[in-house]
Amino acid sequence: MLASDIAREAAEAFHGIFGRKAGGPPSTRHFAGDHGPVWQALADGGWLDMGRPEADGGAGLALRDLVVVAEAWGRHLVPLPYLQTMLVHRWAGANIAPLAGARLTVGLCQAGAQGDALAPFLGELGVRYVTALQPLASEAFDAMVAAAPAASGAHAARDPARNERGKSRSDHAPSLPLGTAPTGTAGLASSHRAELAILCAAELVGCCQALLEQCIAYARERQQFGQPIADYQAIQHRVANMHRDLEVSRTAVLWGANEPEAALRAARVVWDRMRAVTENAFQIHGGYGYTWDAGVHFYSRHVWAMGRVLERCGMALWPN
């Protein structure tokens, strides 16, 4: 049921990489910086092959182990397609050699449709769009844009995240930029979508765990009426609720990792709970929480952008 010691050691090593390379809480400067050294460290250290079968030269970690790694990744909001690339390595097996070390993403079509595919990080950082897994093939964003006029109106584009009413939002998530591609889903099976969904959910748990720690630090520092706001019961209740939601979500992730048929239901539980965590974080920070400088919005945007990815995996984001 639980992750192995190897997975937990890998997660600790992950934090060491980010502490040296990424550094600091999320900020505009954090997202605008050069993350090439981080990616190089991931490629050189074999992190892209964590889920790849041992017979194909990977570490062969099971899905319940990979969720620990995904949670560690989520804590740092690094704008790189690590999970997508690692999963392509896992799914493609021995066919990954031509693109080893490349930044990869996959497209997710609407259920039952073959139109534009939503693709995390498409058009960013030289990410290549995987068009086939067996044998592995991919396209560059520029090539898709150039070929778009011949694709019957389909297009490749960066796609700002939209709100629940479908209206375009300018406040997209810099930690999870989304793009649309005119081609299909690279042959993603339902099992592939389930794995992607559960690892995305684990990433959200890591993201909101970091946010909770930021809230606790702020509550201990912020003074009101001569004492830290952490001493007030109203703040303590919100922090307790955030902690509860995180623990429930960790259990849901383990549920989905061990029972693939429940992955989408588990991811839905996580997304709902993490949305509540970000709402509580805004309240704990008060009016300051809604400012650009507080940084709470980066976590909230990440949760909402991830909701779009999970929806394309098959999760009912807004059920009737």
CA distance 224 to 219: 10
* Per-residue pLDDT tens listing for the chain (320 residues): 777 888 888 888 877 777 655 455 678 888 888 888 889 989 998 899 999 999 888 888 999 999 999 999 999 999 999 999 999 999 998 888 878 899 999 999 876 555 688 999 998 888 999 998 888 889 998 888 777 655 455 677 776 555 444 544 444 799 999 988 887 778 889 999 999 999 999 999 999 999 999 999 999 999 889 899 899 999 999 999 999 999 999 999 999 999 999 999 999 999 999 999 999 999 999 988 888 778 899 999 999 999 999 999 999 876 54
Question: How open is the CA angle 124-125-130, to the nearest 5 degrees?
Answer: 70
Looking at residue 113, its pLDDT comes to 57
Looking at residue 114, its pLDDT comes to 59
Looking at residue 317, its pLDDT comes to 77
Looking at residue 254, its pLDDT comes to 95
Looking at residue 318, its pLDDT comes to 67
Intra-chain end-to-end CA distance of the chain, in Å: 33
Specify the CATH number of the domain 1-102. Answer: 1.10.540.10
The whole model's pTM is what?
0.91
Looking at residue 164, its pLDDT comes to 46
Contact 278, 300 (CB under 8 A): yes
Residue (of 164, 61, 166, 151) closest to 115 by Cα position: 151
Contact 169, 37 (CB under 8 A): no
Looking at residue 154, its pLDDT comes to 60
In this chain, the answer to whether the domains covering 1-102 and 191-313 adopt an identical fold is no
CA dihedral 102, 263, 268, 1 (to 10 degrees): -100
Looking at residue 18, its pLDDT comes to 75
Q: Where are the domains of the chain?
A: 1-102, 191-313
What tens digit of pLDDT does each residue of 159-185 get?
A: 655 544 454 444 479 999 998 888 777
The type of residue at 156 is A
| Domain 191-313 indexed as CATH 1.20.140.10 | yes
